[in-house]
Structure 1
């Protein structure tokens, strides 16, 4: 793909808009499952909540398969070496499949213990174990989809992942309805429907990559050295993701100590934060693909220019989202059926969520840019340092008996620390490594 003298808003939107659609499609999988399983009763719904939380955590931890592959493939595309770009993608697929098989082997016997950590009642626990064990069988496919998404994003194609996501969501909903509501397989039917949808989605990605491999005369057999290199490169991104999960888990733990109403308000606020993050993550994904390509082509000036443009887009979108959240703040509690006590907590904390949006707009974009640059080691260290900056703030909330607003201000400390570290790095030149 030829490089122009600048990366304009049109190219950013060409990558970001379909990426946003694909990101939104992911939680629709879970929403469809909840809508159908909810007809089985409270016990089944609780079991899905526990198993779904465990599986979602697994996906979040393994997201490095998508991010790392995007950066590696995009860099080779920029360098004009499409065969090597495809080779990087093939290695990523084999790594994803291997991790998936290992997770099945480890997760199957540990499923009862994992469910027990949530403190579920015996009835809920039994169904949660059933759902979790069946869903684990789809883990290799789920991770192949992550790696396949990374390959196509690296090839500057975010439309195909959107199409696959929509198709998988539709198939998942149809199979769940068939297995649960028509064939009466219970919660196991929901798990099997999701597994089958994931497997078919993975098949699509494999066929696309195999076709590209044949076109560029790249072998599709596993290359142990390449798979090992892909895994080694992913360790730093894994550390980054785990640190972020620690922050969110600590926040939920602190909210739990405040009582049921603050916990419920925190859960809703977190979901709203996540939804808003999808829009900003879409720009970050464009940043991964564009940065890898421009640095691979050796064009530092274009990389700088594209970064500035994407930061402007991130700030603009985040300000719009923040203002929209402030305007919708009075009606949002009603959408979640919150009682008066929860509503009062939620309305107060949404101010903080809105104020943090411009910070998030810059942070998410710069995070994506540095991932695209392959600056993984710095991101790992920065994540560890910002987590350490957050923990004393979270402890102060507990020690002083602060409420939910104080907890979200502590999360603001974390976001400010991320802004400082990522901004400092982006301002320098150490991450601007060019070439293949």
Structure 2
């Protein structure tokens, strides 16, 4: 593992290139969980059952979206490599085909997801009281999925071209629109949880339209056709398969946590929704460095600069640990009050406060895991990431299975569930750290060959 904190923040020569991408990416990423937190705060005023329904449906939607995260991550790495090799046009061509793949996957998912929605909600263990809220939110929000996947693919294109500013502006704009619409539809027009879902649909559709315009303009500037190519779409899908396997393994962990929390009781699933969103807020902040790493490492390896790739890796890991320590202090300091916007149920409050101790202590490890995951992704080391994610998932599942046995409903098992999650994070840290310490991932050229 690289030596940590070898130079003061902002004084290391690599800090400028890291921060140029990481800072706007940070604000773009945290805008997403902030808008989810706003949704939760608004829906929470409808009651514990509505908040639990948002948690169940949100986990389904996040799973569907994250299964397609290769549209962003794979595109970032591929475009960055071609950009580093001086092949910007072919990089944009890859991105355009990725956008078409996003449209196809989004349409197919909506068509399949609508009739399966009741089964998906039941599979996550929603109680009879929570079920109607979850089903309503899920069916409406499914309509936003094609737009969300377009946003993912478009973000990957621009970040691969080392442009993090435009994704920031689009993310902030669409999420601010979602907040305003959510308050209007739910609290003013009294549409209930359906109003929150419709706000998401409208805001994400607008964001997708902006990405199509920006990428279209770049394609025309470089003489790239906007029509899809069968070979390009197929190549984008094939390249994303390993990332798909990786993401499935990660999402299994998160879905299992939601299912167990739902079976522990309604207060547990409501509290888990809040804690998960707070965790996501912190992870997205740490992931800003990881996504910068995708673009930076892809560019270095595309230019056949392994020394630069090693140096950037070391410095980004140092930043991950430093930010993790800052977040540990921040969570512990704010912990007594963070429940206030979400619930007035004393049972839910107590569960949130207990689980947040685990979340706080995990932050430095989370910083290392997020950064190394992004670096290996930028290097095109998807096969290793897929296998590592699969094995760490298998480590997690036995610990998770013990939670309901050791914690019957009403006994505070949510903290034990998050402790099982900590075991999974530790396993990820070991597998990623061992890989980064070697040299097998340092493959150079415009194509990683993997």
User: So what's the TM-score if we normalise by structure 1?
Assistant: 0.87
Render the CA deviation track for 1:186-209: whole Å, top value 9, x for unaligned. Answer: 655554443232222111111111
Render the CA deviation track for 1:241-296: whole Å, top value 9, x for unaligned. Answer: 11112222333444456556665555444333222212211111111111111111
2:359 corresponding residue in structure 1: 353
Q: 1:258 to 1:214 in 2, by over 3 A?
A: closer
Alignment partner of 1:434 is 2:440 = no
TM-superposed deviation, 1:223? 0.7
Alignment partner of 1:420 is 2:433 = no
TM-superposed deviation, 1:386? 0.8
Gaps of 5+ in 1: 1-5
TM-superposed deviation, 1:391? 2.0
Q: Tell me, what secondary structure is at the counterpart of 2:240?
A: helix
1:160 corresponding residue in structure 2: 166
Q: 1:239 to 1:220 in 2, by over 3 A?
A: same
Q: 1:9-408 maps to which residues of 2 (within 5 A)?
A: 9-34=15-40, 48-117=54-123, 129-176=135-182, 188=194, 190-256=196-262, 266-333=272-339, 336-337=342-343, 345-398=351-404, 403-408=413-418
TM-superposed deviation, 1:107? 1.8
TM-superposed deviation, 1:118? 5.3
Q: 1:365 to 1:43 in 2, by over 3 A?
A: closer
Render the CA deviation track for 1:352-373: whole Å, top value 9, x for unaligned. Answer: 3222221111111000000111
More displaced 10-residue stretch of structure 1: 76-85 or 329-338: 329-338
Render the CA deviation track for 1:341-399: whole Å, top value 9, x for unaligned. Answer: 65555544433322222111111100000011111111000000111122233344555
Say whether the 8 Å CA contact 1:330–1:347 is kept in structure 2. Answer: yes
TM-superposed deviation, 1:60? 2.2
More displaced 10-residue stretch of structure 1: 130-139 or 181-190: 181-190
TM-superposed deviation, 1:7? 6.2
Say whether the 8 Å CA contact 1:30–1:52 is kept in structure 2. Answer: no
CA separation in 2, counterparts of 1:245 and 1:188? Answer: 25
Say whether the 8 Å CA contact 1:349–1:405 is kept in structure 2. Answer: yes
Q: Tell me, what secondary structure is at the counterpart of 1:365?
A: helix
Render the CA deviation track for 1:15-64: whole Å, top value 9, x for unaligned. Answer: 11111111122134434545666677888766655544432322222222
CA separation in 2, counterparts of 1:228 and 1:287? Answer: 26
Say whether the 8 Å CA contact 1:333–1:343 is kept in structure 2. Answer: yes
CA separation in 2, counterparts of 1:194 and 1:279? Answer: 22
CA separation in 1, counterparts of 2:78 and 2:371? Answer: 18
Q: 1:270 to 1:399 in 2, by over 3 A?
A: same
Aligned residue pairs: how many?
431
Q: 1:7 to 1:222 in 2, by over 3 A?
A: farther
Q: Tell me, what secondary structure is at the counterpart of 1:435?
A: coil
User: So what's the TM-score if we normalise by structure 2?
Assistant: 0.85
More displaced 10-residue stretch of structure 1: 160-169 or 112-121: 112-121
